[in-house]
Structure 1
């Protein structure tokens, strides 16, 4: 007993999967735009320049992801030079975008660090004032001991005690003001950077730079992956729909041919179903169609990338040739 293992059949993604893909793609692109805006908007404080730099950041981000989508389209058509030029252009825009994201995330973390440092400076200022008052109190106590030794208790010691009482009241007031200030809450990002700095024995500045570079690269790769996934799914859907329509038309032709056969004639074996490659090859060799990808795609209702693949196979088999002006022609000595 033999078992036949068939290749898995793929179908276009359902609405649920497409909703998730488009949601992730939109969220990643939006986050990349926001981080780039954080950097570009901080270049100049002039409102007009902010608008111009903000628009420039949005154009760079949207253009980058469209170029990546176009790279997938050209690669599917086997347009090597076009795909290479799109990849180079994408690399330039991606470098600008990643730099903008690094600057934006760095600006956001610097703001949190500055707020925490400002709170620490204000607390240290209160502590310094309290310590200075404590030193003055000790000096007054030393002076009071001198007055006691000189038998000037009534004149000197009483004045020192009153001064110390006033200083202690001022000290208590400063402590109350210091303790009444809101506690600086450490954000999760600052906590993560502090933990990494302790674990890696790096400075906080080094951890901050490494972390923002990693997050920027991860965000860009994440968005590019889903943009490429959308492009591949659209190409597969077009090809799958064209194949389904071709099957329906072939079934209709077979049904019409069967109905037109005389009842008394013996049954003839069914004509073999031609593949899209055979249909294009026969039409070009018989002169029914010109050697034009556009005309072949329109007349035979095939997807452009499928026609590109068929023309590539015909050139490999020597059936078609290509002139210097990139126009195709049928070889006279081509195999039939």
Structure 2
């Protein structure tokens, strides 16, 4: 059986593979819609306006992926002007979507950063109070030295020492309250942003913006890839199921031969099936996918000797019908239409 060379390379994907593709596609599209909604819903606090802006975000997202699906469909039909118009429409909607995703992801990241900042500000407040007390103690020590020089130890120095002891106790109390604060649980995203900022020697805000833009673009391309994969698989299934293979066994001029060759025969003429050679039997077995493209499988299926199979595969390799992969396994490419016409001539 002689298949189209492109279609003979693989079969349609199974149910598990397609369900996985549909799951990934739905999850990525849903995530993109949610992030866009976070931005569009924050435009206005009025419920009616939020409903309108939310619907607009959903329309933009769904329209974007449908436009990308149309890019693949029109490319498959070789409608290149239509493909370019759909591609332009997709790029506009993708820019809006990426902007919405950037705003949504940035908003979620800012909330996590705000929690860390609040906890850190409490710690900083205690540190400032402890540092102020330390400065006050240092000033008191300077004053005590002056009292010593004035030989007023009993009056001035004793009072300053008591005041310093009181400040030390207050300082210890503040340090204990600071240390008793709950630890700030730094999220993975915040830790990643800090690590990027340190590695690239840039500010944390710049690293956060770059990370958010990268994630938004990656999410959009991820969803677009799976949408395009679904379209390609649907087109392949349609071609595969509508494909009418040419067989070399039991064919007649009207049923199995190409249309352009029918003129060589009258309506009452039939093609007698000659006895097949070993080479033709191997071609038939490989073309009909009844056997894998390997010497052992062909020898076992057709009950040929090893030497005979080696000669046939050497001929197939010389004629370009099969090729060798990097692991020395053979790959079947099929017989072209021109070669079939030459054999029938």
- The bucket for the TM-score relative to the shorter chain is 0.5 to 0.7
Residue 93 of structure 1: CA displacement?
0.6
> Which runs of 5 or more residues in structure 1 are unaligned?
248-253, 255-268, 279-336
Q: TM-score, normalised by structure 2?
A: 0.63
The aligned counterpart of 1:261 is none
Count of aligned pairs: 253
Specify the SS of the correspondent of 1:12. coil
> Kindly tell me: are residues 139 and 207 of structure 1, through their superposed partners in 2, closer, same or farther at Cα, counting changes over 3 Å?
closer
2:65 pairs with 1:83: no
State the partner residue of 1:285.
Answer: none
The CA distance in 1 between the partners of 2:198 and 2:57, in whole Å, is 36
**2-side partners of 1:45 and 1:178: how far apart?**
39
Aligned ranges 1:123-142 → 2 under 5 Å: 123-142=123-142
Give the one of 228, 251, 254 matched to 1:272: 254
How far residue 276 of structure 1 moved from its aligned partner, in angstroms, is: 9.5
The 3 A distance-change label for structure 1 pair 133 and 9 is closer
1:60 matched to which residue of 2?
60
Task: Tell me the secondary structure at the aligned position of residue 182 of structure 1.
Answer: coil
1:229-263 CA distance string (max 9 Å, x none): 1112122223333347x99xxxxxx9xxxxxxxxx
**Cα gap change, 1:146 to 1:70, in 2 (>3 Å):** same
| 1:220 match | 220
- Kindly tell me: are residues 180 and 23 of structure 1, through their superposed partners in 2, closer, same or farther at Cα, counting changes over 3 Å? same
3-state secondary structure, aligned to 2:192: helix
Tell me which moved more, 234-243 or 14-23: 234-243
Q: Is 1:239 matched up with 2:239?
A: yes
SS in 2 for 1:104: helix
- Alignment of structure 1 residues 1-336 onto 2, 5 Å: 7=5, 8-146=8-146, 149-151=150-152, 153=154, 156-243=156-243, 270-273=252-255
Higher relative contact order (CA 8 A, sep 6+): 2
- The alignment's TM-score, normalised by the length of structure 1, stands at 0.65
Q: How far did residue 187 of structure 1 move?
A: 2.6
State the Cα distance separating 1:47 from its structure 2 match. 3.7
Q: Distance in 2 between matches of 1:237 and 1:6?
A: 14
Report the aligned-residue RMSD: 3.2
Q: C-alpha separation between the residues in 1 aligned to 2:259 and 2:128?
A: 86
CA distance in 2, matches of 1:209, 1:226: 26
1:142 Cα shift? 4.0
Q: Please give the alpha-carbon distance, in whole angstroms, between the structure 1 residues aligned to 2:68 and 2:171.
A: 65
Could you tell me how far 1:151 is from its partner in structure 2? 4.0
Residue by residue over 1:111-141, the C-alpha shift from the partner in whole angstroms, topping out at 9 and shown as x without a partner, is: 3333333333332221111111122223334
Distance 1:109 1:178 in 2: 26
Q: Distance in 2 between matches of 1:61 and 1:132?
A: 55
Deviation at 1:159, TM superposition (A): 4.0
Distance in 1 (alpha carbons) for counterparts of 2:31 and 2:151: 77
**Unmatched tracts of structure 2, length 5 or more:** 261-345
Task: Indicate how the Cα distance of structure 1 residues 15 and 152 shifts in structure 2: closer, same or farther if over 3 A, else same.
Answer: same
How much has 1:9 moved relative to structure 2? Answer: 4.6
Distance in 1 separating the partners of 2:179 and 2:238: 68
